[in-house]
Amino acid sequence: MSGTPVLEIRNLTKAFSMPGGRDFYAVRDVSFSVPQGASLGLVGESGCGKSTIARMITKLTEATGGSILLDGDDITHIPEKEHKKRVFSKVQMVFQDPYGVFSPRMPVGTFLEEGLVFHGVMSRKEASAEAKRLLELVELPSSLLDRMPHQLSGGQQQRVVIARAISIKPRLLILDEATSALDVSVQEGVLKLLMRLQKELQLTYLFIGHDLAVVRSIADRIAVMYAGNLVEEMDSEDLTDTAVHPYTLRLLESVFSIGDKGKKHIELENFSLSDKEDNTGCPFAHRCREAGASCSKEQPGSRLLEKNHVVKCFHVHGAM
Amino acid sequence: MEILKVENYSVTYDGEHNAADHVSFSLQEGEIACIVGESGSGKSTVLHGILGLPSPGAVTKGRILLYGKDIASMSRTELLKMRGEQVAMIFQDTGRYMNPISRVGHQFDSFLRYHLDCGKEEMHRIEEDYLQRVHLPDTRRVLHSYPFELSGGMRQRVGIAMAMSLKPKLLLGDEPTSALDVTVQAQVVRQMLDLRKKYGTTLLIVTHNMSVAAYMSDYIGVMQQGKLVEWGRTEEVIGSPRTDYTKKLLHSVIGLGDIRIKETAAI
Ligand SMILES: Nc1ncnc2c1ncn2[C@@H]1O[C@H](COP(=O)(O)OP(=O)(O)OP(=O)(O)O)[C@@H](O)[C@H]1O
Ligand SMILES: Nc1ncnc2c1ncn2[C@@H]1O[C@H](COP(=O)(O)OP(=O)(O)OP(=O)(O)O)[C@@H](O)[C@H]1O
Ligand SMILES: [Mg+2]
Ligand SMILES: [Mg+2]
């Protein structure tokens, strides 16, 4: 897996301007890359900027700093007329909110066919047979082909959107909470399907999710974000054993497991964070049990620990 | 005291298949039940029925009683009052139920104003309190935002805060925490349990997360193809499931150290 990565983002930043003229940084200075055939799992607090990164890669929103490279091609600021050729032909995205992707009056079958035809994968005639096969792949009956999107359950919508995204065999597939509306049994089927396709077609995945076990089961590397910042990145195998950032540890502690009934104690966390726009110090400092005086004054830089394990925290002393 | 009784409730959308098929169960005040099951098995359909909000085109059979009163017999005004105060719902996809062109704070205001007789200050105190509880501490920004300016999980939490803010007797949740990261999820679960502790709230929660169901519920119901195929005390359903489908579900749960997904690709 050498050569130019399929996706590389460098110091990517997105600031939204807020009333009163101040800026809100949804994403700040994030860098990572994903080689061909690999998957990067992106996890982190709700609202930490994961979907914003995905939306910048798919040109739904413009980056305010840094750069995005697809197969080495810098697409950060390209004219709109080049989007189809340089972005949409390579990248597919499964959105967090599947319903928004459908046209409300377009039946499921047509929705699937449109994707194939638009991207020149096949003719409309061939596409109608393919649509049926695609539904089977995601464990849906072909009786759904004539349904309107609002006549599907949440998980059925999500699977139709996944089917459309994989039908185009994109270089890069971004999955934003793509399996969160599925029951665990169907989810297992969809995850296996994704793994099989990746292997067969050397697809590259950016997999955003909240279920750490699910993300870990599919990703080679895991990047953890907090409040717009990437705070830790490591091989996914190492997540449970070697994670060191206090926020990553907090995440791991919070996972429920089946045997937990009545045992797990959830402490109520109280913190106030009304004017978080000042950028001095570590973003996690106000909630961190380890935080010392320097944490709220200075931003921790990246440190490289062993085995491609990168962390931003003053309290971690690694190899360097 | 029995707060909810669902009796042979069936719903069909096409006149042929039952999206919900003779579903029956009941809940006493203060009990917590979680419903798990197949995607497309009728879970949302049942919850919408309890709220008196069946989808257009749906034909229903059977009865749903709230405090002994048949929901079908309620007038429109009775239903509107009932929703919010007696029964509140956290929708699977809150964003879809919000007005896209109105600020979140404005929507929260109108919601509270409809149900409560209180001044502006009290209203804002309640909003602030409940947003904090679901870990949206930057309340000023949240209330000033349009729905599209919030992340998926933030919109979901606004929905949770609104549903909890009226302290309903019965709180329904359709996948309330699946859009949330695990630390926020744990906080929200804790808040829901606190509602029961403080106010005796009854909870009926649909979730795909078997571990969350196991953690918070007294009862678990399992749905498959419109039928409630299993209903029992949580320990029993988890510890000695009766149906093959429940066993399959439990078996499909992916644990933190699980490598079986990657193994399939290696074959
Ligand atoms: N158009 C916008 N205008 C202003 N702020 C925005 C806009 N879009 C997103 N934000 C803010 O950017 C932050 C990051 O949002 P994003 O959707 O990327 O989060 P996320 O990590 O995907 O969260 P979740 O897990 O809840 O989906 C949030 O605080 C959100 O309110
Ligand atoms: N308006 C409608 N018209 C026709 N069929 C519908 C309609 N709404 C739902 N259905 C069908 O009814 C069945 C039950 O749907 P429901 O939304 O209750 O499932 P669910 O258990 O909530 O699934 P999920 O976990 O995927 O959200 C599904 O097969 C769905 O396709
Ligand atoms: Mg998101
Ligand atoms: Mg549903």
Residue A155 pLDDT > 50: yes
Comparing A181 with B156, the larger pLDDT belongs to B156
Q: How far is the CA of B226 from the centre of ligand 3 (A)?
A: 31
* pTM confidence score: 0.94
Please give the Cα distance from B216 to B30 (Å, whole number): 12
Confidence of residue A74 (pLDDT cuts 50, 70, 90): very high
Where does A7-90+176-191+205-273 sit in CATH, by number?
3.40.50.300
Tokens representing residue B112 in the block:
């509270």
Residues of B in contact with A212 (CB under 8 A): 182, 256
Please give the Cα distance from B155 to A145 (Å, whole number): 31
Average pLDDT over residues A212-226: 95
Q: Return the pLDDT at B266.
A: 65
Could you tell me if A259 lies within 8 Å of chain B, comparing CB atoms? yes
Output the CA–CA distances (angstroms, integers) from residue B4 to A269, B1, B65, B217, in the order listed: 33, 9, 6, 16
Average pLDDT taken over every residue of chain A: 90
Q: Whose CA is nearest to atom 12 of ligand 2?
A: B19
Domain count, chain B: 1
Comparing A196 with A292, the larger pLDDT belongs to A196
Element (H, E) at A51: helix A50-57
Could you tell me if B238 lies within 8 Å of chain A, comparing CB atoms? yes
The string of pLDDT tens digits covering residues A85-119 is: 999 999 999 988 888 888 889 999 999 999 999 88
Residue A152 pLDDT > 90: yes
In 3-state terms chain A splits into helix, strand, coil percentages (rounded to 5) of 35, 20, 40
Give the phi and the psi of residue A97 in degrees, each rounded to 5. -110, 95
Residues of chain A above pLDDT 90, percent: 69
Please give the Cα distance from B248 to B253 (Å, whole number): 9
Contact A10, A34 (CB under 8 A): no
Phi-psi category of residue A8: left, alpha or beta, with phi > 0 → left and psi -120 to 50 → alpha: beta
Q: Return the pLDDT at A279.
A: 67
Any domain includes B144: yes
Any domain includes B181: no
- Testing ligand 1's pocket by substitution, the residue of A13, A23, A24, A62 carrying the most ligand atoms inside 8 A of its CB is A24
Average pLDDT over residues A288-301: 87
Which ligand 2 atom sits closest to the C-alpha of A154?
Answer: 27
Tokens representing residue B38 in the block:
């197949």
ipTM for the predicted complex: 0.91
Query: Domain residues of chain A, as ranges?
Result: 7-90+176-191+205-273, 99-169
A45/B36 touch (CB, cutoff 8 Å), yes or no: no
Any domain includes B11: no
Q: Return the pLDDT at A257.
A: 83
A183/B212 touch (CB, cutoff 8 Å), yes or no: no
Q: A123 vs chain B: nearest CA distance in angstroms?
A: 31
Average pLDDT over residues A187-197: 93
Residue A70 pLDDT > 70: yes
Any domain includes B264: no
Q: Return the pLDDT at A320.
A: 41
Any domain includes B156: yes
Confidence of residue A275 (pLDDT cuts 50, 70, 90): very low
Q: Return the pLDDT at A291.
A: 86
Residues of B in contact with A46 (CB under 8 A): 151-154, 156-157, 179-181, 184
Contact B27, B49 (CB under 8 A): no
Please give the Cα distance from A181 to A153 (Å, whole number): 9
CB B48 less than 6 A from any atom of ligand 2: no
Q: Return the pLDDT at A319.
A: 42
B39/A154 touch (CB, cutoff 8 Å), yes or no: yes
Please give the Cα distance from A215 to A72 (Å, whole number): 26
Contact A245, A260 (CB under 8 A): no
Q: Return the pLDDT at B49.
A: 94
Q: How far is the CA of A95 from the centre of ligand 3 (A)?
A: 8
- Write out the residue range of the structural domain in which residue B114 sits: 94-167
Any domain includes B173: no
Could you tell me if B92 lies within 8 Å of chain A, comparing CB atoms? yes
Q: Return the pLDDT at B240.
A: 95
Please give the Cα distance from A243 to B172 (Å, whole number): 36
Residue A276 pLDDT > 60: no
Q: Whose CA is nearest to atom 5 of ligand 2?
A: A151
Those of residues 7-26 in B touching chain A at CB distance below 8 A are 13
Q: Return the pLDDT at B262.
A: 77
Could you tell me if B139 lies within 8 Å of chain A, comparing CB atoms? yes
Element (H, E) at A114: helix A108-118
Residue A215 pLDDT > 70: yes
Taking the CB of residue B148, how many other CB atoms lie within 10 A of it? Answer: 11
Using 50 as the pLDDT threshold, list the residues of chain B that sit under it.
none
Residues flanking ion ligand 3, Cβ below 5 Å: A 51, 96; B 151-152
Which ligand 1 atom sits closest to the C-alpha of A50?
Answer: 21
Q: Return the pLDDT at A273.
A: 55
Which ligand 1 atom sits closest to the C-alpha of B181?
Answer: 25
Please give the Cα distance from B93 to B123 (Å, whole number): 25
Q: Return the pLDDT at A93.
A: 94
- Substitution target in B156, B181, B250 with the highest count of A β-carbons within 10 Å is B181
Please give the Cα distance from A245 to A231 (Å, whole number): 7
Q: Return the pLDDT at B82.
A: 86
